[in-house]
Chains A and B, each alone.
Chain A
Amino acid sequence: MRKSKVMSAKEAVSQFIGDGMTVMIGGFFHAISYALTHEIIRQNKKHLTICQSSFNDHADLLIGAGCVDRIISSYVWMEVFGPLYCFRRAMEKGIPHQVLMEDYSNFAMTARFLAGALGIPYIPLNSLKGSDMMTHSQWMGDQKVKLMEDPFGSGYSHALVPALKPEIGYLHAQRADEEGNVQMWGILGDGPWSLRACEKVIVSVEQIVSRETIGRDPNRTILPAYKVVAVVEEPFGAHPKNTQGYYDVDRDFIFHYIRMAQKENTWKEFMDEWVYGVADRSEYIAKFISRYGYRKFAGLKAKDMPSGSINYGY
């Protein structure tokens, strides 16, 4: 029997995320672990370099809380919901401190993870060239991107971006077994490549399932266990975002966050209530239900739209 890696979010973050680390946060709107993000803030981790193909409000929380020195990404915003004010305050005014960002395109970021996952040093792109992202760098200098003529004779030059291999990454998925074989469905985002690019991975999941359950549908596995260092069971762990098949996105809560984040003092009120004021995810859920009612909580629950089962027989 292999070792179980099941632990609490508190243990996982304190054991595996250190000040100054490069931390990959997996997902694309879907599959983002707010449970682990909140725990990083509660443990007041500092000087992190955070990377993800596209960031949403989880980055805003980390930036506002002073955990982040550097961002590697293509995007920090909340789509049609609106801007992220902690990000803007940091970039425009240096509040709470200056944050540097290396800007890539969404595909360039994902390609950097792909190269990292495949163990190749860099990857050529059709995009990025011709943009000012080629010439503007905050700290990587000429290591950010290079333009190289195609050695195979197409006659064109391509942007080469270096492999990105974060020290640690984390994600929220539907399920994993105790050892950390992770299964996910719905919008995969920058996963599975961003996860496979990391040296180590922490995963929070809606449910821990048996190894036998994993083995009944192995095509659904996005990450095998060997890179996973911690498995944290956190139902509702992606709220206010969604987890396909479990609960939908909580738009009201996201709009509420954006309103509160407009000013520093109301942002602090939000954080005191929803991050610093709760010890862990179960207190967060209890607080959510007492604040908004069980009807609202239950209303987020996903409808049943099961896939038909397939035959793996031989």
Chain B
Amino acid sequence: MSEYSKDFTLQEIMAVAAAREIRDYEKVIIGTGLPLLGAMLALRTHAPNMVAIYESGTIEARPLKTPFSVADACLVPGAAMQGGLIEGLGIVHAGDLDVGFLGGAQIDRFGNLNAHVIGDYYHPEVRFAGSGGSNDIGAGCQRTIIMMLHQKRRFKETVDFITTPGYLTGGKSREKMGYPGKGPAVVVSTLGILRFHPETKEMYLESYHPVTDLATVKANTGWDLKIADDVRETVPPTVEEIRILREELDPTGIFLKKT
């Protein structure tokens, strides 16, 4: 096994954790920022046959540089197919894709996400972007990878608005809805990696990042977070993974600001 990096940042360990969730040959719809870096890292390491799909209708993108947005013009030349939203999100809606990335302002223990408001929907304290493709990706992709800042005000007992259903009220409640996709597989947070119990569908901590500890993760979660019996430290990024991220994918530090 390769040598582990000793000077990685939180953003870098998140991008690496996201990359490790992707398997070779999978069809993956990619958002901007860390998911994009994670997916591109997977493509350059263990998943060279991954098919990169963007909401904007780009299928099997092979950009010559790291795209800045999901509709970056550099995604178009070299792609296997370029359409519009009906093509990009239509295949998500049909249940064709293996993996999608999600994020949001708030998440609850069943992986329900809020990307709309803080406070009351009709009189918001803070108004955010809204769903965009998030709700469609959450319903349609076979599994989703959620990336979140791990703070108590974001990991909430109840979210202020459900933009994208995760496992709803847990147990079989999602299954009964008949979405094409099976729901969130993992939450990659700034503090750790969390998964969902196969029966109850409640989130639990699988590992905490080397920079933190169990008590910190619990203190930053808005409910009594369950912990895996074999909880451990997150496997750190390798030197090679960090090199690819810094030198090849984000040489000007647009996404990976030093933290």
Residues of chain A whose beta carbon lies under 8 Å from any beta carbon of chain B: 28-30, 53-54, 73-77, 79-81, 83, 87-88, 91-92, 101, 103-108, 110, 114, 125-133, 136, 138, 154-157, 185-193, 242, 244, 248-249, 251, 302, 305
Most buried by A among B83, B162, B174: B162
Most buried by A among B32, B73, B121, B174: B73
Residues of B within 8 A of A91 (CB): 124, 127
Interface of A is mostly: loop
A-contacting residues, B30-79, CB 8 Å: 32-33, 55-58, 68-73, 75-77
- B interface residue count range (under 10 / 10 to 19 / 20 to 34 / 35 or more): 35 or more
Bound-state CA distance A247–B80 (Å) is: 22
Residues of A within 8 A of B179 (CB): 126-127, 129-130
Residues of B within 8 A of A191 (CB): 84
Residues of A within 8 A of B133 (CB): 74, 105-107
Once A29-B56, A156-B177 are accepted as A-B contacts, the answer to whether A187 and B130 lie under 8 Å apart by CB is no
Residue of B nearest to A94 (CB): B123
Contact: A29 with B93, CB < 8 Å? no
Residues of chain B whose beta carbon lies under 8 Å from any beta carbon of chain A: 32-33, 55-58, 68-73, 75-77, 82-87, 89-90, 92-95, 116, 121-122, 124-136, 138-140, 161-165, 168, 174, 177-180, 255
Interface of B is mostly: loop
Residue of A nearest to B168 (CB): A130
Once A106-B89, A126-B139, A248-B73 are accepted as A-B contacts, the answer to whether A88 and B56 lie under 8 Å apart by CB is no
Q: Which of the residues B73, B90, B128, B177 comes within 8 Å of A107, measured between beta carbons?
A: B90
Residue of B nearest to A150 (CB): B178
Contact: A127 with B128, CB < 8 Å? no
Once A80-B33, A136-B121 are accepted as A-B contacts, the answer to whether A189 and B85 lie under 8 Å apart by CB is yes
8 A–B contact pairs at CB < 8 A? A105-B135, A106-B85, A130-B168, A187-B56, A190-B84, A244-B76, A249-B69, A249-B72
